[in-house]
A and B are shown apart, each in its own frame.
Chain A
Amino acid sequence: MSACCETPAFVPPVAPPDATLRTVVLIGPPNSGKSTLFNRLTGLRQKVANFPGVTVEQRMGLMAGVGREDLTLIDLPGIYSLDPFSEDARVSIDVLRGEMPGTPKPDAVLLVMDSLHLTRQLMLAAPVLALGLPTLVLLNMSDLMAERGGKVDALKLARELGAPVAQVSAVQGDGMDAIPLFLNQQSERAGAKPLSLPVLGNAASAHAWAAQVSRKTGYRAPLSVEGTRKIDNVLLHRFWGPLLFLVVVVAVFEVVFSIGQPLSDGLGDVLARMGELIRPLLPAGWLQSLVLDGAWKGISSVLVFLPQILLLFLFIGILEDSGYLSRAALIADRVMRTTGLNGKAFIPLLSGYACAVPAIMATRVIENKRDRFATILVTPFMTCSARLPVYMLLIAAFIPNVAYLHGFLGLRTLVMLGLYLAGFVGAMTTAWLLKSSILKSNDAPFILELPQYRMPTLRSLGLRLVDRARVFLKQAGTIILCVTLALWVLAHLPVMHSASGEISAPQLADSVIGRLGHFIEPAIAPLGFNWKIGIGLLSSVLAREVMVSTMGTLYGADPGTQALSLHAALNHDMTLGGALALMIFFAFAMQCTSTMAVVRREMNSWKWPAAQFLYMLVLAWVAAFVVNHLTMMFLG
């Protein structure tokens, strides 16, 4: 039975001076169930994960879950104290004090604590309550608390803290009534004086105070469960642990490719057929060409990769929500430290296999600034899902489908693995270079909390995928649509007048885009790239997958047999050396404006992403040059 009926009878002695309530913040230590509560209160999508401090962005939502659509709820990153030890804590402090630009000063605070570890969690209560904002203390996980024989007197605790206290279970939805009750009281009350709490100078006095409070409230910690330790006996076993770790990583990629490929092919067929259905509806001529050969073909050549990308995010979501990712960080720490990074960098780097943008935001869990900067700078080397379309197109066009070891290992798979390995080695080498030069740091402790294993919920995984799909489709509908349209227009300008006065499009080589491609050709010819590839490289600076749609538009392939004819066109136009060089170029080059923007935001300067872009470009050029010439020497 849950303790939801013990909702506060104690009225808060604090209220905002002007009694108008607009903004409420949600704060609490990592793993206190804050994100689940946020989901329940707002009904908005939000990442719920098990890695300490994974809520790296502040999120907002209207409190529709408790019938208060007029209130904005801000979800803050999980923090242990108001000591600005990490970026997360700094963000939270700024928001709470109303010093965060663009975020309104909060009018009320919901302080969430895991009642299973109340003594420790209370250490955050004193500094938060001392801010003088009206605060409701929520003792979360009341269901588990009751189940495992823990006890706390909420009324006594409310008296000690001078703030109302409610016992809730965000997972079960118990005790939620306390929240609207508290909020309604805030709108009516005004002018009360805050209860004075002891000023806590350091962590030791904060702990002494927290221990004293929890003693006075008759707190008894619940019993620990054995389940997590039994699972860890296997997953962190000296021999089985690393082996299972490798199996998990390989299995993720295997499933993404073996299930994702047929799904992609199927989607490609459907999109091509849809294009053919539209064709008769448009008058033949430039409009039909613009819509079908320009826009539709460009977008669908990128859309087909949605299944693979979603599968990759699904697996990373399962690993993260279950709590395994923290164990993976523990196993990876030994390897990561040889480069100068620590195990926590493993989480952003693994997410980097899906997309560098969320991965770079996830680096906020790394407390040490230099470690964090080094991780941000190497994350774009990880083979993100946007590189997949380019690799798959080139592999399908140039690498024969030969199988080794009785069909267990294909040449195409080997090339793909080689490209993933190239990215990983690039990241590790760069990390080592950075950590032994400009980003050297001595005092960077590795402190990792291992949360209990949880079953990932379908709801949380589903919300994650919807979120990713939305971002991907938005990208396809904006950047990629614009680029393909612009390319189509540039490929059809300047308008030619024939002797008889008829208007026609120029030859591709004479068009604006053709001349631009020829202009940069000398710089890329040593890599085995012609001017069309040059245009592809220029346009893919926006996003890597644009390369594929650009090739599609430039080679003007028929939508019905698009993949086939694009392969044939590329095969006719490029050498094997050039194709391999192009793949290695994409492995190293930083072709993504979204990543550059997020690096600028996280490192607060344009200098870093500019240096990163140049470094990766030079590396990509040199590697492509070497690969092209080696191929010519040995295979040409």
Chain B
Amino acid sequence: MSDYPISGYHGRVLVADLSRGEVRTEPLDPDTALAYLGGRGLATRLLYDAIDPACDPLGPDNAFVIAASPLIGSNAPTAGRGHMVFKSPLTGVIGTSNSGGTWGAAFKSSGYDAVVVKGAAASPVMIDIAPDRAEILPAGPLWGKTTHETTDALAGASEPGRPARVLCIGPAGENLVRFAAVANDRNRVYGRCGPGAVWGSKKLKAIRVRGKERIAVADEEKYRSGLDQALYLMKQAPVTKRLMRDLGTAGLVELINLIAMLPHKNFQDCSHRDEDVERVSGETLAKTLLEKAGSCYLCPIGCQRHTRVAGRQGGEERGEGPEYETMVLMGPLCGIYDMAAITRANYRANELGLDTMSYGGTLACAMELAERGLIGREEAPGLDLVFGGADALEALVGMTARREGLGADLAEGAFRLAAGRGRPECAMTVKKLEIPAYDPRASYTQALGYMTSPSGACHLRGGYAVSLAFFGGAREIPRFSLLQSPIAIRNMQNTGILQDSLGVCRFTGYAFSADPWARMVSGVTGRDLSVAKLEEVENRVAALERLFNVEAGATAEDDALPDRFAEVPIIVEGKERRVTREDQERMKQDYYRVRGWDAAGRPTADLVRSLGIAGRRA
């Protein structure tokens, strides 16, 4: 344990300069730690200080930061998640991605609060982190290997009590696929915004961590009061107690269809046959492919799906997934209801290291372009590139990871694919990030969330509006309220910032909100981190993300949905629903006001001052 003035932190940031082949340790300023907490907050601050947001995201001047939090190292439920922040090669704005598993806890035990990686190596390298030394090692023999091969090769450094945990990229990241992911513990991922391509551009193959460094809890009684309440509430709430374990997130498929929000054919509509939806439901997954549930570090919820499926040419394959987003975006969004095909394609995506969400969104866009005659049959020989084409789904994962044939176009993401064919309106993206598996015409609140998420269309950073409108409880709001959506989505976004900055899971939010966290983090640190103080942190991080994006060139015009959602209605509860430009503009302006930003969506000087956001530090 360290002598750092704030309990829960080691007070050390590892900085790796891959151009120079050097690593060094920098102290973590205690005021910065308390102002930004950890995880997403701290990583955003460190990134903001490390790079020019206008840099080339695939060049050596980009950096990425991964941060732990003061709760990691305690036994707070789910406290083991890591958060990675970088400039995104897919969107050109801030890339902010979160992942579970055990790497975050292992990283914290290696004696650091955060790692900053800048520059680019001339040939493949890895970073090896242990408490007594951190070094950059050559990784030539690993280059070209899948995420599974790489992780298994490097896990051999494990010792009793000090398991070695690995983050790595696969061929997709090496080939700079714009939505390449960073794999974590084999089948967890830092999925969105293309961190794998950033690593690939730096010739960084893997980061391995191990250690035994612990943290102290400054005020045991306060910590325990928060912990006990959290654990009790998690046992009461059906979602966290049982449903996630039974069905995984795929249990959502039937419900989302029932409320007319399940995307179909590149968001052309939300109309499915009930018998088709059943084929990709969580119930069917549990009955046919599920071997067992699984959990991340210190998690009682158990939503992981460990599955097996028949191979295409006989035999059996094993892996993890599909979860809800993968099931729908690589399924009904592409007109596909073949769970076995979706599952095999999911396994490929995990092994090759690319984001299943962006892959599905890009493929659906390609299918629509093909049906309109803008992608010729000769570009995908032997594949039926039409909605429902399950063969194309499976074959194109590998081709995309290797940038082969049509895969080279898909590797650019839906926006660049569609724009390259003269049809940008066929890309269902916001800020070039492919839209998640909830149709925004079925919820104005979710629409606003996609528009204003800092990373592009995202339900995890933009706010998850689905549970609000449908279930009882204090946070319920009607789905089509222009008036209430701005405050509601701001609150959902802030809750996400808190969870991401504490290294804990979104799903705890189905059982409890900020109060137990405030007590746990105040208990660990010995500082007064009340719910109100935490709200300040949330607003500070949101403003800093926005400042980054403004400097990266984003404007208020980018906070908008594709034309399809404004012009083409879907039927919800018997009525036609779309999100008109006027309604988008009105919600957006109200949201800016609620955030304290000006009419152009920029944090005002007064806000920056009152939140204590310092200018960039060299």
Do the two chains belong together in a single complex?
no
